[in-house]
């Protein structure tokens, strides 16, 4: 599932994000959502979240 829709992302859910420093190469980081930072219901580059370990990035994939 893609990360462009805020409704698809749940606090406590597992996601893959791209960190700001990895936007050019596209390296994904896996983690559990602690906070959803984007307020709008949709964002073309992915909803911005903070993971439980403190890393912030845009969701590229929501894992089951």
pLDDT-derived band of residue 56, with 50, 70 and 90 as boundaries? very high
At residue 1, the pLDDT reads 84
Whether 24 is covered by a domain: the verdict is: yes
Model pLDDT, residue 25: 95
Tell me the pLDDT tens digit for each residue of 1-55. 889 999 999 999 999 999 999 999 999 999 999 999 999 999 999 999 999 999 9
Question: Which segments of the chain does DSSP mark as H helices, in order?
Answer: none
How is the chain split among helix, strand and coil, in percent rounded to 5? Answer: 10, 45, 45
Q: Where in the sequence is the domain holding 15, given as residue range(s)?
A: 6-62
Structural domain count of the chain: 1
Q: Tell me the CATH number at 56.
A: 2.30.30
Query: CA 52, CA 47: separation in Å to the nearest integer?
Result: 16
Give the global pTM.
0.93
Instruction: Please indicate, yes or no, if residue 1 is contained in any of the structural domains.
Output: no
């Amino acid at each position: 599932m893609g990360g462009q829709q805020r409704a698809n992302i749940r606090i406590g859910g597992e996601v893959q994000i791209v960190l700001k420093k990895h936007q050019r190469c596209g390296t994904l980081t896996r983690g559990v959502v602690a906070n959803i930072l984007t307020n709008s219901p949709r964002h073309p580059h992915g909803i911005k979240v903070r993971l439980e370990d403190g890393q912030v990035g845009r969701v590229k994939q929501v894992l089951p």
